[in-house]
């Protein structure tokens, strides 16, 4: 899951490191509380849908926050959806926003669902079996595995889970005449590009769409283009490097570690034959079905004029669905009741930090809304945008999310923090809010392919024994290409 909230491996003490996402977000809560004493309070008039009407901003009486008390209670009130003393919920997207508690609970249940699935061993067996079947055809293994990992990234934000596969894939790649970086790139870039092109990723697209008040299916075509084109570019980039290394081992950027890596990973390769059983296949089928059901449930078929029953699902229904599929997978795997509940709770525990980040990030919105400075900030941005066209607006949003993603590498935390402010801006330039969602997730995904605050990047490189600086020098052309792709898709989507 694209949630690098965990701390990366610690660098030498003499080097500066950014605080964790928790600390940064809580500091922003305090700054927001201070800002309510400085920024004038103001509001927009609202239309029938509860959205701000451009050009109707006007100042109102100031409501400064109690800096200490409100800063401490803001994350709690944000989880409950309480945004004022009267208990009113944020008027933006009030039809779909229940506070952050529904999102946090959804995250925990998704964690439990993934925990049960991983405990069954089905995903590990599936990828291990694929690797075995492709022996002797390792060059084809690069596009096949990158596609598999990208599917994990685009569907459920596969990130930390991928760390379990680095040793296996690197071992196979070294045995085939490639190097450790090739193996690491297959996993890291495969998952990462999938996250950049997230289609139904609940941790990025789902949360951002929910806060923006749009369906997860809105903007799906543009995200599919980014996924397919980005994956093709990534596969070409990795294959080109791998072929060069196989022809000339000295062309490897980690050639100085060749002997050590070969000795290390070949020693780790004696793991026995991986068997993909009928039970594993059934579990993988149920796993895929869970996401298919979620996709069907959230698409408004009725509004699209398609004669299919519309379920009008959102977070409560999706949460219940994944809870049901967790039980089904546990039963198919033959788990005892104690094993099923333990694996579910352990999986949920792994994402508890993500749920907490969502509450803290939501607290910033609570402070700003209670102090009535959210609309003032929107007004300032509206004036700064001026007559910005649709394409320029999309690119400005993308550029805005790049530095924010560096400060807050948690995709869920960033969505919870930024969407309440950025999504309403789309109405000011007559573009769909789903475009802001796409700008956010592509920027966040690209940054999380290389920033040192990403535990997935630093952890994966540590397993592969690839120095961080070496990786940066190698990957930057691909990052530039992926950025260019995102910019083109955003511009074209805005213009259509």
d(CA 388, CA 375): 19
DSSP H/E element including 42: strand 42-43
In our burial notation (b when 16+ CB lie closer than 10 A, e otherwise), range 189-216 reads bbbbbbbbbbbbbbbbbbbbbbbbbbbb
Mean pLDDT of 201-214: 84
Whether 7 is covered by a domain: the verdict is no
Cα dihedral 98/103/108/111 (nearest 10): 150
* pLDDT grade for 12, boundaries at 50, 70 and 90: very low
* pLDDT grade for 97, boundaries at 50, 70 and 90: very low
Strand partners, 58: 43
Between residues 186 and 123, which one has the greater pLDDT? 186
pLDDT digits (tens, 9 = 90+) for 231-283: 999 999 999 999 999 999 999 998 888 888 777 776 555 555 667 899 999 99
- What's the sign of the alpha-carbon dihedral 167, 169, 170, 176? positive
Q: For residue 131, give every residue at least 6 positions away whose Cβ sits within 8 Å of its Cβ, in sequence order, or none.
A: 141, 145, 168, 169, 172, 274
d(CA 281, CA 129): 11
SS3 category, 496: coil
Asked whether residue 95 carries a pLDDT value surpassing 70, the answer given is no
Strand partners, 59: 42
Q: Any idea how long the chain is?
A: 496
CB 157 within 8 A of CB 433: no
Whether 81 is covered by a domain: the verdict is no
- Give me 19's structure tokens: 């605080």
For residue 6, what is the DSSP state? S
pLDDT value, residue 189: 96
Mean pLDDT of 272-299: 85
Give the least confident one: 75-79, 114-118, 329-333, 475-479: 75-79
- Chain centroid to Cα 432, Å, comes to 21
pLDDT value, residue 471: 93
Domain, as residue range, for 175 = 100-495
Give the least confident one: 83-87, 203-207, 229-233: 83-87
pLDDT value, residue 92: 39
Whether 34 is covered by a domain: the verdict is no
Whether 44 is covered by a domain: the verdict is no
pLDDT digits (tens, 9 = 90+) for 19-32: 777 888 888 899 99
pLDDT value, residue 1: 53
DSSP 45-111: -B-TTSPBPTT--EE-------HHHHHHHHHHHHHHT--STT----STTTTT---SHHHHHHHHHHH
Burial of 162 (0-12, 13-18, 19+ CB in 10 A): buried
For residue 451, what is the DSSP state? -
Percentage with pLDDT > 70 across the chain: 89
Q: How many domains does the structure of the chain reveal? A: 1
Between residues 304 and 339, which one has the greater pLDDT? 339
Average pLDDT, the chain: 83
Asked whether residue 13 carries a pLDDT value surpassing 60, the answer given is no
Mean pLDDT of 342-368: 86
d(CA 187, CA 131): 13
Can you list the alpha helix ranges (DSSP code H) found in 351-450?
352-370, 374-385, 390-407, 411-422, 425-428, 433-447
Asked whether residue 63 carries a pLDDT value surpassing 80, the answer given is yes
d(CA 424, CA 116): 38
Asked whether residue 53 carries a pLDDT value surpassing 50, the answer given is yes
pLDDT value, residue 483: 96
Give the least confident one: 40-54, 96-110, 202-216: 96-110
CA of 344: how far to CAs of 103, 111, 116, 352, in Å? 18, 7, 5, 12
Mean pLDDT of 287-309: 80
Whether 483 is covered by a domain: the verdict is yes
DSSP H/E element including 43: strand 42-43
Between residues 350 and 193, which one has the greater pLDDT? 193
Whether 463 is covered by a domain: the verdict is yes
pTM across the whole model: 0.74
For residue 161, what is the DSSP state? G
d(CA 318, CA 293): 9
Asked whether residue 8 carries a pLDDT value surpassing 80, the answer given is no
d(CA 272, CA 227): 34
Mean pLDDT of 450-455: 79
Give the least confident one: 152-166, 328-342, 476-490: 152-166
Whether 53 is covered by a domain: the verdict is no
Whether 32 is covered by a domain: the verdict is no
d(CA 73, CA 360): 10
Between residues 9 and 100, which one has the greater pLDDT? 100
SS3 category, 419: helix
* pLDDT grade for 155, boundaries at 50, 70 and 90: confident
């Amino acid at each position: 899951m694209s949630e690098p909230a965990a701390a990366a491996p610690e660098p030498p003490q003499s080097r500066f490191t950014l605080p964790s996402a928790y600390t940064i977000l809580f500091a922003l809560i305090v700054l927001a509380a201070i800002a309510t004493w400085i920024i004038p309070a103001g509001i927009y008039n609202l239309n029938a849908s509860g959205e701000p009407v451009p050009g109707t901003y006007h100042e109102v009486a100031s409501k400064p926050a109690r800096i200490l008390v409100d800063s401490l209670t803001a994350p709690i009130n944000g989880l409950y959806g309480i945004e004022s003393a009267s208990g009113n919920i944020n008027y933006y997207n009030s039809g779909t926003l229940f506070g952050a508690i529904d999102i946090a609970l959804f995250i925990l249940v998704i964690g439990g669902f993934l925990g049960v699935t991983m405990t069954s061993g089905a995903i590990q067996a599936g990828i291990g079996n694929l690797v075995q079947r492709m022996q002797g055809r390792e060059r084809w293994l690069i596009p096949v595995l990158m596609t598999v990992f990208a599917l994990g990234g685009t569907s459920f934000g596969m990130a930390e889970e991928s760390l379990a596969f680095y040793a296996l894939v690197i071992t196979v790649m070294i045995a085939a005449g490639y190097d450790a970086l090739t193996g690491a790139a297959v996993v890291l870039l495969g998952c990462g590009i999938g996250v950049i092109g997230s289609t139904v990723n609940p941790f990025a697209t789902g949360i951002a769409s929910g806060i923006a008040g749009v369906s997860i299916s809105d903007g799906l075509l543009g995200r599919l283009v980014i996924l397919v084109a980005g994956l093709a570019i990534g596969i070409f980039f990795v294959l080109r490097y791998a072929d060069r290394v196989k022809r000339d081992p000295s062309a490897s950027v980690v050639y100085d570690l060749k002997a050590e890596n070969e000795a290390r990973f070949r020693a780790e390769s004696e793991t026995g034959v991986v068997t993909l059983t009928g039970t594993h296949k059934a579990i993988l089928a149920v796993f895929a079905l869970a996401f298919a059901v979620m996709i069907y449930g959230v698409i408004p078929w009725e509004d699209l004029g398609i004669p299919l029953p519309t379920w009008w699902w959102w977070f409560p229904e999706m949460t219940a669905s994944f809870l049901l599929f967790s039980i089904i997978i546990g039963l198919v795997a033959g788990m005892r009741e104690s094993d099923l509940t333990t694996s579910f709770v352990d999986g949920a525990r792994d994402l508890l930090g993500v749920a907490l980040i969502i509450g803290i990030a939501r607290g910033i919105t609570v402070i700003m809304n209670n102090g009535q400075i959210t609309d003032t900030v929107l007004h300032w941005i509206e004036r700064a945008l001026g007559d910005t066209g649709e394409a320029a607006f999309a690119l400005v949003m993308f550029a805005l999310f790049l530095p924010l993603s560096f400060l807050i590498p948690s995709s869920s935390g960033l969505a919870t923090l930024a969407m309440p402010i950025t999504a309403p801006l789309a109405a000011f330039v007559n573009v769909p809010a789903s475009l802001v969602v796409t700008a956010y997730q592509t920027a966040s995904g690209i940054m999380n392919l290389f920033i040192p605050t990403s535990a997935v990047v630093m952890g994966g490189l540590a397993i592969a024994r690839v120095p961080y600086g070496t990786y940066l020098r190698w990957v930057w052309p691909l990052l530039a290409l992926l950025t260019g792709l995102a910019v083109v898709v955003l511009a074209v989507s805005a213009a259509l």
